[in-house]
Amino acid sequence: MTLIFLGLGTINTNAQESLNTSGGIVSGSDGSINQSIGQMFNNPVGDSNQIMYQGVQYAVDLISLDTNSYEFELSIMAFPNPSSSELNLQVSKINNNDLSYEMYDLLGRLVKSSSISAEKTKINIENLQNAVYQLNVFSNNKNLIKSFKIIKN
């Protein structure tokens, strides 16, 4: 029985991997194709009249998500962390930016939220359970500016 387990432990697998001598990428306006030449193995398939050699071929599907980039000249700090009763949220250069915060527990439930109107905002966390929370700071149009992991002890 132990001989079977030792034998299974030495099996090597190479999935979607090949050693090629040459290759390249052909690109156009509608997409691109990757090709490779000189794979170290091939497998003939067919009958005596027609033979096709197959090797390693794989599809690559690249998806790009377009995200909006926002520039803010803000410095945001949350302290003390960990905290047991009160958390300070310090925002420099607040100017006329309408900011807000939302605090979530690890199950994704909203436990606190409010607007930020001053450079220093005090958040009372005394009634929260001892746990890790996520504090998100948003701009006026709900774009995430900064996220903190807050430890309540």
Q: Is residue 93 part of a domain?
A: yes
Average pLDDT, stretch 25-47? 63
What is the Cα–Cα distance from 33 to 136, expressed in whole angstroms? 42
Q: Are residues 54 and 80 in the same domain?
A: no
The total number of structural domains that make up the chain: 2
Q: Are residues 31 and 52 in the same domain?
A: yes
Q: Are residues 88 and 139 in the same domain?
A: yes
What is the Cα–Cα distance from 71 to 93, expressed in whole angstroms? 13
Domain that holds residue 91: 75-152
Q: Is residue 41 part of a domain?
A: yes
Q: Is residue 69 part of a domain?
A: no
Q: Are residues 47 and 24 in the same domain?
A: yes
What is the Cα–Cα distance from 37 to 23, expressed in whole angstroms? 6
Q: Are residues 93 and 55 in the same domain?
A: no
Q: Is residue 33 part of a domain?
A: yes
The pLDDT of residue 146 is above 80: yes
The confidence score (pLDDT) of residue 59 equals 47
The confidence score (pLDDT) of residue 29 equals 73
Q: Are residues 145 and 82 in the same domain?
A: yes
Q: Are residues 103 and 41 in the same domain?
A: no
89 touches 136 (CB < 8 A): no
Q: Is residue 12 part of a domain?
A: no
User: The tokens of 44 are what?
Assistant: 């003939």
Query: Over the stretch 65-82, which tens digit does the pLDDT of each residue have?
Result: 555 555 556 788 898 999
> How much is the pTM?
0.53
